[in-house]
Amino acid sequence: MANIEQVTKENFESVVTNSSTPVLVDFWAEWCGPCKMLSPILDELAAEFDGKVTIAKVNIDQQPELAQEYNVMSIPTVKIFKDGAEVKTEVGVKPKPFWKQEINGLI
C-alpha cells in the first residue's frame, strides 16, 4: 500500500511545497465522522496513483497553526497543491470518481 504522508509545520515545505508531484492535503481530526468516511478513499487513491500524486494528511488538533495558515474553517478540507502552489480547495466528503477526475486533471 502506498504511503500517506503525515504533515506537520516542520515538514510541510519538504512534503508539499517542494514536491515534484501534485499533492492532496487532507485537513482532518480524529473526532470528525466525515473525515473517517474520506480516509479510505484517500488510501485507495494513494495506492492507485503511487508515484504520480502525493496524498498528505494534517491533523488539525495537532497542527492548528497549519489549519489557521491555510484558512481551514471546516473539515474535512482537501487542498490541492501543484508546483508548490495551492490550486484548489474542496470541503466535505466527495466520492472517489470525483477525486480521480481531479487527479487526472493534474498529472
35 among known catalytic residues: yes
Phi, psi of 5 (to 5 degrees): -75, 130
Rounded CA-CA distance 100/96 in Å is 6
User: Which residue out of 2, 29, 32, 106 is catalytically annotated?
Assistant: 32
Task: Cite the DSSP H helix spans in 1-107.
Answer: 12, 33-48, 64-69, 96-106
- Residue 9's contacts (CB-CB under 8 Å, 6 or more residues apart) are 63, 65, 66
| Cell of residue 78, nine digits | 482537501
User: Which residue out of 4, 24, 25, 35 is catalytically annotated?
Assistant: 35
Catalytic residue IDs: 32, 35
